A and B are shown apart, each in its own frame.
Chain A
Amino acid sequence: MLRALFLSFALLSAPAAFAQNAELDDATVEQRTEDISRTLRCVVCQNQSIADSNATLAEDMRRLVEVRVRAGDTDDEVRAYMQTNYGDFVLMSPPVKPTTYLLWFSPLLIVGGGLIWYVMSARKRAAEATGTELGDDDLSAEEQARLQKLMDENASS
């Protein structure tokens, strides 16, 4: 079992190792440059990837991505390079780490909070709803007497 696992790992990683050494063909380089560029933010236009931006700096960043891909960097290595230069900001998808927990998990927090609020108010409504269907047992002796008196009056009139 372990051997089979090891073998499959070896087989899976072999093409990657091979690809790094072999001459990359232009189509692959272009495709990977495009893919990496989509994950990098243009640092002068705030909300576009460098693949989408026509800013001159984005143009040069794309060129640099291509140069590094051609030189044999993996996608992650190219991103890491840009990250050391421009910080997390340059990544379109910010990394999950303590300073970004709030960013990543606030949607969960809001949905969770909403769910708790909903369950609590639903329970309250349910409690109020059952409260309106009062049985004989729910009336005090005094109320019971008053009710009896009203019914008697009704009956006699």
Chain B
Amino acid sequence: MSWKSYLPFALFVGLIAVFGIGLTLKPQELPSEFINEPVPQFEIANLFEDEPNVTSETLSGEFTLLNVFGSWCRTCIIEHPYLVQLKEETGIRIIGLDWRDTRPAALEWLDRLGNPYDIIGFDEHSEVAIGLGVTGAPETFLIDPEGIIRYKHVGEMNPQIWNEVFVPLIENYTPPAGAA
């Protein structure tokens, strides 16, 4: 038999390999366009109506987690206890972005589950979410003191992600020359 008679079989094996690799990819997790980029400018209402608006400037100054959540989001309920625990243990500033939600639902949700957030922006129509390239909730951004986005985690926050990704990024941070 000539090598040509093996060709269909070789093509078949090749296709299986391509499809196999394709199955392990996660096309719904878009890479963030903002890694090592400053937080885009925004100003948005506070979830608590009598508190001042939340702006992109609010996010710089210290290491900050920006957590996109909503009372409608199931995975957010799963990750929520960990955010509360993280706040208690590390004291890191956590800013929430209440996404596509209603105020009464969000307030009731926080009442029930606890509030680990220092400040919460109310993004009813995805203006900030789209500006940040958010595709789903929860998503958690790590923002350094200069207001530069260092990492975006899609899905629930958990101890493993925190210890393996976020902690090293914070510990290895060196302030840019000239910064106070």
Q: Please give me the residue from chain B that is nearest to A83 by CB atom.
A: B33
**Alpha-carbon distance between A60 and B132 when the two chains are bound, in angstroms:** 14
A116, CB-defined interface residue at 8 Å: no
Decide if the interface of chain A is mainly helix, strand, loop or mixed. helix
Q: How many residues of A contact B (CB 8 A)?
A: 15
Min distance, Cβ A40 to any Cβ of chain B, angstroms: 11
Given contacts A43-B135, A44-B135, A56-B100, contact A61 B130 (CB under 8 A): yes
Residue contact A57 to B33, C-beta cutoff 8 Å = no
- Which segment, of B7-15, B23-31, B47-55, faces chain A? B23-31
Chain B residue nearest to A56 in the complex (CB): B100
Q: Which residues of B contact A84 (CB under 8 A)?
A: 33
A-B contact count (CB 8 A): 43
In the complex, A138 Cα to B82 Cα: how many Å? Answer: 89
Give the contacting residue for B132; candidates A64, A85, A87; CB below 8 A: A85
B60: CB under 8 A from chain A? no
**A124 shortest CB reach to chain B, Å:** 14
B133 at the interface (CB under 8 A from A): yes
The interface residues of chain B lying within 8 Å CB-to-CB of A61 are: 126, 130
B125 contacts the other chain (CB 8 A): yes
Report, nearest first, the 6 A-B pairs whose CB atoms are least far apart: A60-B126, A85-B133, A43-B135, A87-B33, A86-B133, A60-B125
Q: Which residues of B contact A (CB under 8 A)?
A: 27-28, 30-31, 33, 40, 100, 125-127, 129-133, 135-136
Q: What are 10 A-to-B residue pairs whose CB atoms are below 8 Å? A: A43-B135, A44-B135, A57-B126, A60-B100, A60-B127, A60-B129, A61-B130, A64-B130, A85-B131, A85-B132
